[in-house]
């Protein structure tokens, strides 16, 4: 209880409720601002200011105390949430040891800049610029880095996306799948299970019977014709054509 010494007017009052263990249960702060009829009370403005500041401080302390108590109560009864994935910041592929590894200097020498960017730096070629977008020969598509067989030409189809698309793998163990949260969205990244080269992404909007669409960068692939003829030479212009455009085209969510 605070009083003005000159006019004995009550400025503010504070009441505390304590339990048997001297723990604070309730705080009640009340302010009474009565301006006396006499003008000789010089302490009015002082006590008004002190009262308001005191009330504000107690309100903050009370609110913080209630928050802490509520947090402890909830955390003691509710199981802690699982660790959040890095979706807002983007997720990078977890480092792991692949069965086949190559020195970066070697890869820079035998791969085109576009092939290196896509397979080693998870890049994306521009839509409709890849070498194998409209490729229709019979054969097998392999990893451009290590030569692992990935897709058959029999499962290739025209998705209209601008990237080579396949409905299935030659062997399930030839490709590794991992969650990709880059660019604020969730996709399934496809990588070569032998060397870890980035291939593209897997979507669930493909044709029957699998319903899958493996959307793959042309620069991640090489081709082995069925008749044993020499595979088409990788054109530098096709690979370089997408170097400046790493964002997908409009339409479906792609690579």
Report pLDDT digits (tens) over 3-60: 444 444 444 444 444 445 444 444 444 444 444 444 444 444 433 344 445 455 555 5
Residue 27, number of CB atoms within 10 A of its CB: 15
Active-site residue identified among 4, 143, 146, 215: 215
Active site residue 4: no
**Cα separation, 171 vs 64, whole angstroms:** 59
Q: In this model, does residue 209 exceed pLDDT 90?
A: yes
SS percent in the chain: helix, strand, coil, step 5: 25, 25, 50
Token code pair at residue 52: 């308001």
Burial 84-95 (b: 16+ CB within 10 A, else e): eeeeeeeeeeee
Tell which CATH architecture fits domain 104-223.
Beta Complex (2.170)
Take residue 54 and report the two structure tokens written for it. Answer: 């005191």
- State pTM to two decimals: 0.56
pLDDT at 142 over 90: yes
DSSP H or E stretch at residue 73: helix 44-77
Tell me how far CA of residue 133 lies from CA of 37, 68, 90, 93, 255, in angstroms: 91, 59, 28, 26, 14
In tens, the pLDDT along 72-83 reads: 654 544 444 433
Burial state string for 128-151 with b = 16 or more CB within 10 A and e = fewer than 16: ebbbbbebeeebbbbbbbbebebb
């Amino acid at each position: 209880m605070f009083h003005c010494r000159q006019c004995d007017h009550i400025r503010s009052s504070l009441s505390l409720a304590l339990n048997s263990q001297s723990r604070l249960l309730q705080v009640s702060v009340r302010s009474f601002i009565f301006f006396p009829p006499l003008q000789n009370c010089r302490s009015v403005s002082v006590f008004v200011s002190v009262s308001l500041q005191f009330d504000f401080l107690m309100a903050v302390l009370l609110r913080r105390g209630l928050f802490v108590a509520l947090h402890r109560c909830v955390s003691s009864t509710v199981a802690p949430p699982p660790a959040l994935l890095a979706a807002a910041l983007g997720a990078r592929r977890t480092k792991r040891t692949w069965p086949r590894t190559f020195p970066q200097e070697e890869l820079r020498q035998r791969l085109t800049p576009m092939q290196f960017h896509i397979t080693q730096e998870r890049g994306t070629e521009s839509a409709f610029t890849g070498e194998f977008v409209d490729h229709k020969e019979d054969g097998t598509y392999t990893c451009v880095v290590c030569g692992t067989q990935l897709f058959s030409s029999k499962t290739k189809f025209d998705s209209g996306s601008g990237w080579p698309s396949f409905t299935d793998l030659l062997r399930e163990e030839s490709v590794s799948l991992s969650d990709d949260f880059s660019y604020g969205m969730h996709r399934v990244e496809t990588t070569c299970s032998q060397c870890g080269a980035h291939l593209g992404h897997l979507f669930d909007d493909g044709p029957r019977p699998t319903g899958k669409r493996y959307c793959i960068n042309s620069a991640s692939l090489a081709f082995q014709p069925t008749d044993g003829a020499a595979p088409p030479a990788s054109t530098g212009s096709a690979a370089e054509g997408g170097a400046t455009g790493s964002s997908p085209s409009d339409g479906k969510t792609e690579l």
